[in-house]
Amino acid sequence: MNLIDELRRRNVLRVAAGYALIAWILIEAGSVLLPEFFGAPDYVFKVYVLIVFAGFLVSLVFAWVFEITPEGVKRERDLDRTALPATNRRGGNRLLIGLLAIALGVSLTFNISGIRSAGVPAPVTVAEDLSSVAVLPFVNTSADAENQAFADGLHGDLLSRLSGIDALHVISRTSVNEYRDTSKNLRQIAGELGVSTIVEGSVQRAGNQVRVNVSLREGTSERPLWSERFDRELTAENLFAIQSEITNHIAAALQTALSPEDASRSARVPTNSIEAFTLYAEGARGVAERQFESLERARRQFEAAIEIDPQFAHAHAGLAKAVLLMYVNYQGVLRSEAYEVAEAASRRALEIDPELAEAHAVRGLLFLEQWQERRVGNTIDEAAQSLETALALDASHTDAYVWLASLRQEQGNLESSVQLLTTALTRDPLSRIPYLNLAYFLALRGRHDDSLELLIRAARQFPDWSQPYNYLSQSLQRLGRLDEAIAWDRLGAATTNDPLYGGQLIGTYQALGEPELVTRYLESLPAEHPFAPLGAAFVDVLGGDVERGVAALSEFQASGEAPPMVAKFLARHAIMVGEFARARDIILDDVPTLALDRDDLVDRFNVKDAVVFAFVLQQLGEAGKARDILTSARTVVEDRPRLGFAGHGILDVEILALLGQQQFALNALEAAVNEGFVGLQLFDFWSIEENPLLDTLRDDPRYAAIVADIEERQRILRESVKTAEANDDWGPLLAKLAPDRAI
């Protein structure tokens, strides 16, 4: 009898086949359940696989030595096989087929249904060639810990030089900074960033001497490709000469030929001042953190660097970026100041260095913001040209990808936007802003669960960053989950000193019948904050002195510094007091696209204002024009999600009511409530009871029943919030969205 026959006789082959199928199921399930549901690190899954494999070997030994009989388990050498009943191989085959079906089902569930890859974006993959590089933060080996900023400056400068080489794929600053003081090995880092090579370095500064150690290694094998130590006198000329040499050595080690343009950029000397260079490095790190206070600090550091060296182009570009982001992300400066500083500083940067990608990118953002205010003119074309130029100069400039993605979304090309953000994340896998923008784009498509999941991932990845919590809170309140929105707002408030943080909950507090919380928030704005007068005016309105509050808001609006919400509030107030001609003028001044003579007068950007404008036109006797606008608006609204971060609320109800289709309007309102709608103030300035656009529905009993349903839902949510506050425990509400609480 040969070995195969003996293995078959002892059922070893059948046991091997059965265990292999079971192992397949276990490994497939473990690959998803361990990291996704239990938050287990990678090594746990590796140990898990080894245990499963060890079980396979044990099962083979068991099958060879033992046999399962009707009398129990017996050793093979003690067994009289002639006395055993015939083996039911057909039953065994059925078992194997059943196991195979289960294995296939598990694999299909995890791989085709999307459980394994439902997250956005997809995980990075390691590049096969050597042209992809991650430059880890340089270690400060100086006796003085304050020299870390100096080391960071060299790290950032080297990143910029390498990024300017067209043939290289260089991971951006945000992602590599996540590995500062890391205990992970190079293989782990290469796998997480999707690169084939890693650059490490250390900087030692002592008196007027500097030592820079740099090495280049393969990521997967950790095999050294090049290393060198540079000892020089500490002068700006020597410092940047070292940087140029390092760049050239790395390019040569990666078999990358430098073009004349690459060589020219590699040889540049950005500043002759070590002090200005260090201040710039500190500011650049603050901008990368994207916190309100870090941007304020960065602005001061860039200004100090420019005072030391007025010819430092990078510092001018950094100043433009810091101030513009303070306005765009936090409204921490007035619009006029942000635009004036960003325009002058970015222009000066390009006068000094016309090939500075950062300066082109910031000008692109500036032009885009200016166009978004009124959506007329050609600044959107100037923005596109500036951003495309930035990417041509630096293909690793993550912000340029992000801002160009926003521009394409403004132009209606959502697919291009998603592709640009995906590219940004290949260049900068741990970048912050793409998570938020992708979440918004998913919300635009009505994919609320995916959008929330991406924001949860951002909160886990960047637990000290306030913006994911802010976006989660806004999204949840517009999904009707007001108690959860407050819980996430409370969690995020601990991560920031931004005085405007929490403002997204004003509609929630109004809907829950807590106007005193709105007043408390508005009164908390610091007197020196640009929006302090705005807060005081709204306090007057809420306190009953409407005339005084509206006068202050009108004055603020006339200054040209008011955010868009002021004009929208003033238009609605004019409607409430019957001043329809004034309301029309306010709307047209705020949304000039509604005054244009074009077929596509209504779009997704102005549709909410267009519906209010149509109501005003009806009151002014222009019924025909109003109907045309409402008909166009109805088409636009049909393509938008009702709820969520990008939802329209009940615009369809308002449109149908204004078109005289009351029963259809009530049907739409019932549908909205069934989806989770619990209040108009989450989407607009007035409540459903105040909104005059719904006046034609109020006498219908169905309308009263729907409003009563909304009020009951609000009561339940209010009680939920009070319970959490009384117990000082928001955990149960947080757990609704993040059951594992791993935030």
Strand partners, 204: 211
Each residue's pLDDT tens digit, 538-569: 898 888 888 999 999 999 888 888 888 899 99
For residue 412, the model assigns a pLDDT of 82
Which superfamily does 367-431 belong to? Tetratricopeptide repeat domain (1.25.40.10)
How far is it, in rounded angstroms, from Cα 571 to Cα 555? 14
Which residues, in sequence order, are CB contacts of 551 under 8 Å at separation 6+? none
How far is it, in rounded angstroms, from Cα 220 to Cα 417? 32
| Choice between 426 and 734, residue whose per-residue pLDDT is larger | 734
For residue 173, the model assigns a pLDDT of 83
Query: For 153, what's the count of Cα atoms within 13 Å in the CB-facing half-sphere?
Result: 25
| 274-283, 349-358, 498-507: least confident range | 498-507
Coil vs helix vs strand at 33: helix
AA identity, residue 327: Y
- pLDDT surpassing 50 at residue 614: yes
Coil vs helix vs strand at 211: strand
Both tokens assigned to 548: 């005084």
Sign of CA dihedral 221, 226, 231, 235: negative
For residue 418, the model assigns a pLDDT of 85
**What is the mean pLDDT of the segment spanning 655-673?**
96
Each residue's pLDDT tens digit, 277-289: 999 999 998 998 8
For residue 112, the model assigns a pLDDT of 39
Unique residue bearing structure tokens 């007091």: 577
- pLDDT surpassing 80 at residue 58: no
Each residue's pLDDT tens digit, 251-308: 888 888 777 777 777 778 899 999 999 999 999 989 988 888 999 999 999 999 999 9
In order of 173, 258, 314, 396, the CA distances from 166 in angstroms are: 17, 8, 20, 10
- Domain-wise residue ranges, the chain: 3-111, 132-266, 272-354, 367-431, 563-639
| Choice between 375 and 695, residue whose per-residue pLDDT is larger | 695
Q: How confident is the model at residue 501 (pLDDT cuts 50, 70, 90)?
A: confident
Coil vs helix vs strand at 534: helix
Highest mean pLDDT among 187-191, 392-396, 603-607, 621-625: 621-625
How far is it, in rounded angstroms, from Cα 214 to Cα 191? 21
Which superfamily does 132-266 belong to? ABC-type transport auxiliary lipoprotein component (3.40.50.10610)
Unique residue bearing structure tokens 């309102």: 669
For residue 118, the model assigns a pLDDT of 39
Each residue's pLDDT tens digit, 390-435: 999 988 898 999 999 999 988 888 889 988 988 888 888 888 888 8
CB atoms within 10 A of CB 633: 28
For residue 673, the model assigns a pLDDT of 96
Q: Do domains 272-354 and 367-431 have the same CATH topology?
A: yes
For residue 451, the model assigns a pLDDT of 92
Each residue's pLDDT tens digit, 297-353: 999 999 999 999 999 999 999 999 999 999 998 888 999 999 999 999 999 999 999
**What is the mean pLDDT of the segment spanning 49-74?**
66
- pLDDT surpassing 70 at residue 226: yes
What is the CATH architecture assignment of 272-354? Alpha Horseshoe (1.25)
